[in-house]
Amino acid sequence: MGTEHVLTVNCAESPGIVHAITGYLLEHDCDIIDTKHFGDRQAQQFFMRVHFAAGKKDFSTEDLRRDFEPLADEWAMNWQLEPDGRKRRVLVMVSKFGHCLNDLLFRARTGDLPVDIVAVVSNHTDHEELVKWHGIPFFHLPVTKETKPAQEARLLELVDEFDVELVVLARYMQVLSDELSAKLTGKTINIHHSFLPSFKGAKPYHQAYDRGVKTVGATAHYVNAELDEGPIIAQQVIDVDHTYTAEDLVRVGRDAECKALSNAVRWHCEGRVMLDGGRTVILR
């Protein structure tokens, strides 16, 4: 088999879409390795992800995109066609808690995630040495009420400078402005340390302790202008009981946070996540 690619498609639900896409692949001598699709009957939206390999003709990525464009226009598709395994350029933001950052750095370094972490931004310097040990540029951008507009402007400069495709808030404990959230819509993932929609805002583990919960969780979601309200991508839970203190919940919750965030980053970068209004469709 030749070069492998991944095609993702979202458009209005209509008969014949799968036939049109698979027909295009057949015409280009491509072999389907894996395909997933979903039709949202309520929203009348269709979602599809196809992992395929080129045949003897082995068309280039540019050729495949050019030839698919008329079909995409015909069906009014939102689509992407990328080489399989292409690493996305990621900027990570972090504050003082470093477990999610450390997990992402390890997974990126070992090839477990299809990402290239091109920069790390923090409002503290706690993790500067760790980041530099990994050979990644570290930017200290402290935040106060007075400096926040300038800090966010600098962040956007870094996003452009490093051609960033995804921003990951790995326990970054600052609320992004509505303006910044709007500019980064669909390309920013946050990890919240509770099983949303429960226990939004500050100190969710302490909120959970006060309610005597029997599971604690973590939620990775896209960022929007509403605090902890963005479309959910991945969640993890851990069983607890009455013997756990609030500090114990914080401790055991770290594993859930790391797993939920790494899953969300992986699925996003593999083209498995598609927005469906205020929800997501995950084609795994």
Long-range contacts (CB closer than 8 Å, 24 or more residues apart) made by 96-100: 96/124, 96/126, 96/173, 97/171, 97/173, 98/126, 98/127, 98/130, 98/171, 99/171, 99/254, 99/257, 99/258, 100/170, 100/171, 100/191, 100/257, 100/258, 100/261
Rounded CA separation 132/42 (Å): 48
Distance of alpha carbon 228 from alpha carbon 206, whole angstroms: 17
Tell me what pLDDT residue 274 has. 97
Measured between alpha carbons, how far is 124 from 144 in angstroms, rounded to an integer? 12
Residue-range domain boundaries for the chain? 4-83, 88-282
pLDDT digits (tens, 9 = 90+) for 180-197: 998 998 999 999 887 766
Greatest C-alpha distance within the chain: 64
- Whether 201 shows a pLDDT value over 80: the answer reads no
The catalytic residue positions are 228
Q: Span 86-107, mean pLDDT?
A: 97
Q: Averaged over 110-132, what is the pLDDT?
A: 97
Residue 39 three-state SS: strand
> What rounded mean pLDDT belongs to the chain?
93
CATH topology of domain 4-83: Alpha-Beta Plaits (3.30.70)
pLDDT number for residue 20: 98
What count of Cα atoms within 13 Å lies in the side-chain half-sphere of residue 153? 5
Looking at residue 31, its pLDDT comes to 95
Q: What pLDDT was estimated at residue 216?
A: 85
pLDDT at 143 over 90: yes
249 pLDDT above the threshold of 90: no
Give the chain's length. 284
**Tokens, residue 262:** 């790494």
For 31, the token pair is 């072999």
Class of domain 88-282: alpha beta
Query: What are the pLDDT digits (tens) for 52-86?
Result: 998 888 789 999 999 999 999 999 999 999 999 99
Whether the bond between 231 and the residue before it is cis, its omega within 30 degrees of 0, is: no
Express each pLDDT in 263-279 by its tens digit. 999 999 999 999 998 99
- The continuous run of DSSP H or E covering 64 comes out as helix 61-74
- At 197 the pLDDT is 65
